[in-house]
C-alpha cells in the first residue's frame, strides 16, 4: 500500500516546483473526488474547480496523479484557442481507433493534419448558400412541430415535456437536412432514430467510467474497452447512413448536404496544392496517400447526427423553459417576431429570421446559461510559455477551459443566474470579452455546425412563439437542476410546459 501511494503521489509536487497555484490533491485520486462519485457531470465538475481558483488566471489540479491545468483568464484563453493555436492543435479527449474506429476516426477526436483536411472539407456543408438551400427543409420540420403542439398540447391542462418534444423535432431536422431522411421521430416516440437518440447518451456505471477515460484519462481506454459511441447506436446509424448513400447513388440525385460532401471526400484524391495548404512537412507523405474509407465517412455521419440533435434540442428546450419563467422577455420577443414578419408579408423566411435581433439575444443568453459545450479541452503538443511569465506548460499537459464556470462567473456576467438577454445588445456586447463567452468554442476548433444549429433553433422557436404562449405547469421545476449523468449539459428529469394559443400583436 505504501509503495502504491508513493507511486501515485510522485507528481503531486509538480505544480509547486513550477510556482503555479494548485489545488491540494487527495491520495490516489488527485482532485477527482466529485467526478468519481458521479455527483456532477464533467462540465459541472470543472465549473466547481473553476470557482476554487477565484482571483487566479490559471491553476493546477491533478487527474489521479497526472498534472493538468485550468485556465480562467480570457486573455490567456485567447492565446490557447487562437493566437498560439499551434501549441494546442489537438483536443485532449482521445479514443482508441483499434477497438473503436467510430470514435477514433470522427472529426471531434482525430488529430493533426487529418483533422485539418477533414475540417476544411466538412466546413463547406454549412456555408451561407447551403444553409439557405436547407432552410425550406428546416421550415417544414418547424411547421410539423407547430402542428404537433396544436394537436397534442393545446388543451387547458395538457402539458408537453419540451425536453422530449424538442429532442424528437431536432432528430427530424438533422435527419432531413443532413441525410435526406424523413425520420418521423416527432410523431412516433418509438421511431428508430429516437430510440437511437436515447441510447447514445444513456447512463450506466460503465458508461460513466468510459466518459471519464475519454476526457480525463485516455490511458485507461483500452483497459475499459471504451467506445465513444455505444455498439447498438453505432450499428443503427451505420445502417441508416448506408441506406441514404444507396438511395443517393441509385437515383443519381445531388442535394449538396452532408451525405454528398462525404461521398465527394471518398471519390477525390488529395491534390498537391491542397496538401501544402494544410500539412506540416512531416505529414505531407501521409496525406498524399490519404483515402477516406466507408468507416471514415460513417464516423462523421455519426458525430454530426449525435452532436447536432443533442445541442439543438438542449438549446431550444432550455430557451422555452426560460421564456416560460420570464414572461416579460417572452412578450417582448413575440412583439418583435410580429414586427419583423409584418415587414416580410407575414412569411417566415431566411431573411426574416436573420432580422430578429432580440431572438439572437434570447438565444445568446440561453447559451450563456446552458452552454452545449460546458468545457473545452486541449492537449499541449509543444512546450508553451505563459505570456508575461517564465512558466512553461509542458508538452502533453492537458488544459481545460470551464465554459460553464466562466458563463456563470459574477465578475464576468453580473447576476449570472438571472436570464437577461439585454446583456447581448450591441452596446453591451462590447463589454463582454470575446473569450469569456464560448458556447461553441473559439478558434480553428470552433463548433463546425454552430450556424446550422442556431438557424434550426431560431426557426423552431419562431414557429412556436408566433402561435403559442409558453407558461409554466404546476410540475415545472422553478430551479433548473442539471443531470450528473451526461456529457452535454442537460437537465435532470422533464421540463413540462403549457402552450396557450395566442395571436401575434398587430404592429
Ligand-binding annotation for 177, yes or no, is: no
Closest to 163 measured CA to CA, from 505, 480, 490? 490
Q: C-alpha angle with apex 451: 93 to 196, nearest 5 degrees?
A: 55
DSSP state, residue 491: B
d(CA 384, CA 369): 31
d(CA 166, CA 309): 9
d(CA 285, CA 303): 27
Q: What is the 3-state secondary structure (H, E, C) of 153-186?
A: CCCCCCCEEHHHHHHHHHHHHHHHHHHCCCCCCC
Closest to 216 measured CA to CA, from 52, 416, 62, 89? 62
287 contacts 113 by C-beta, under 8 angstroms: yes
Three-state SS at 431:
coil
Q: C-alpha angle with apex 287: 283 to 290, nearest 5 degrees?
A: 140
Annotated binding site for heme: 447
Which residues carry a binding-site annotation?
A: 447
Amino acid at each position: 500500500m505504501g509503495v502504491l501511494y508513493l507511486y501515485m503521489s510522485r507528481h503531486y509536487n509538480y505544480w509547486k516546483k513550477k510556482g503555479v497555484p494548485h489545488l491540494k490533491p487527495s491520495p490516489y485520486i488527485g482532485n477527482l473526488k466529485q467526478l468519481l462519485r458521479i455527483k456532477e457531470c464533467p462540465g459541472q465538475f470543472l465549473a466547481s474547480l473553476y470557482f476554487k481558483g477565484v482571483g487566479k488566471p490559471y491553476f493546477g489540479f491533478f487527474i489521479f496523479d497526472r498534472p493538468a491545468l485550468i485556465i480562467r483568464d480570457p486573455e490567456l484563453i485567447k492565446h490557447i484557442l487562437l493566437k498560439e493555436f499551434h501549441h494546442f492543435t489537438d483536443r485532449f479527449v482521445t479514443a482508441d481507433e483499434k477497438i473503436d474506429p467510430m470514435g477514433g476516426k470522427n472529426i471531434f477526436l482525430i488529430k493533426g493534419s487529418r483533422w485539418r483536411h477533414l475540417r476544411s472539407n466538412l466546413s463547406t456543408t454549412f456555408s451561407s448558400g447551403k444553409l439557405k438551400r436547407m432552410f425550406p427543409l428546416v421550415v417544414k420540420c418547424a411547421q410539423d412541430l407547430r402542428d404537433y403542439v396544436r394537436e397534442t398540447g393545446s388543451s387547458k391542462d395538457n402539458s408537453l415535456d419540451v425536453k422530449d418534444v424538442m429532442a424528437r423535432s431536432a432528430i427530424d431536422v438533422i435527419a432531413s437536412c443532413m441525410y435526406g431522411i424523413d425520420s418521423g421521430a416527432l410523431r412516433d416516440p418509438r421511431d428508430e432514430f429516437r430510440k437511437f437518440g436515447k441510447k447514445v447518451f444513456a447512463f450506466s456505471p460503465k458508461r460513466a467510467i468510459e466518459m471519464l477515460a475519454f476526457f480525463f484519462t485516455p490511458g485507461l481506454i483500452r483497459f475499459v474497452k471504451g467506445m465513444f459511441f455505444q455498439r447498438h447506436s453505432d450499428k443503427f446509424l451505420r445502417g441508416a447512413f448506408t441506406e441514404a448513400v444507396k438511395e443517393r447513388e441509385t437515383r443519381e440525385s445531388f442535394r449538396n448536404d452532408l451525405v454528398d460532401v462525404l461521398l465527394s471526400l471518398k471519390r477525390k484524391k488529395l491534390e498537391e496544392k491542397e496538401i501544402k495548404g494544410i500539412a506540416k512537412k512531416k505529414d505531407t507523405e501521409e496525406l498524399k496517400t490519404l483515402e477516406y474509407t466507408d468507416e471514415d465517412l460513417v464516423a462523421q455521419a455519426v458525430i454530426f447526427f449525435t452532436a447536432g440533435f443533442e445541442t439543438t434540442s438542449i438549446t431550444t428546450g432550455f430557451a422555452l423553459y426560460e421564456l416560460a419563467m420570464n414572461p416579460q422577455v417572452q412578450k417582448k420577443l413575440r412583439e418583435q417576431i410580429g414586427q419583423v414578419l409584418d415587414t416580410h408579408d407575414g412569411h417566415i423566411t431566411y431573411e426574416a429570421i436573420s432580422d430578429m435581433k432580440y431572438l439572437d439575444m434570447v438565444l445568446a443568453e440561453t447559451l450563456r446559461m446552458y452552454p452545449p459545450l460546458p468545457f473545452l479541452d486541449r492537449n499541449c503538443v509543444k512546450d508553451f510559455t505563459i505570456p508575461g511569465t517564465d512558466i512553461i506548460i509542458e508538452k502533453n499537459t492537458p488544459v481545460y477551459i470551464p465554459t460553464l464556470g466562466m458563463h456563470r462567473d459574477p465578475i464576468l456576467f453580473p447576476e449570472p443566474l438571472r436570464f437577461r438577454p439585454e446583456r447581448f445588445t450591441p452596446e453591451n456586447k462590447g463589454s463582454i470579452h470575446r473569450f469569456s463567452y464560448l458556447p461553441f468554442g473559439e478558434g480553428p476548433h470552433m463548433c463546425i455546425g454552430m450556424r446550422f444549429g442556431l438557424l434550426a433553433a431560431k426557426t423552431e422557436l419562431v414557429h412556436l412563439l408566433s402561435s403559442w404562449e409558453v407558461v409554466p405547469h404546476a410540475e415545472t421545476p422553478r430551479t433548473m437542476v442539471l443531470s450528473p449523468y451526461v456529457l452535454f449539459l442537460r437537465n435532470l428529469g422533464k421540463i413540462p410546459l403549457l402552450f396557450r394559443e395566442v395571436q401575434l400583436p398587430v404592429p
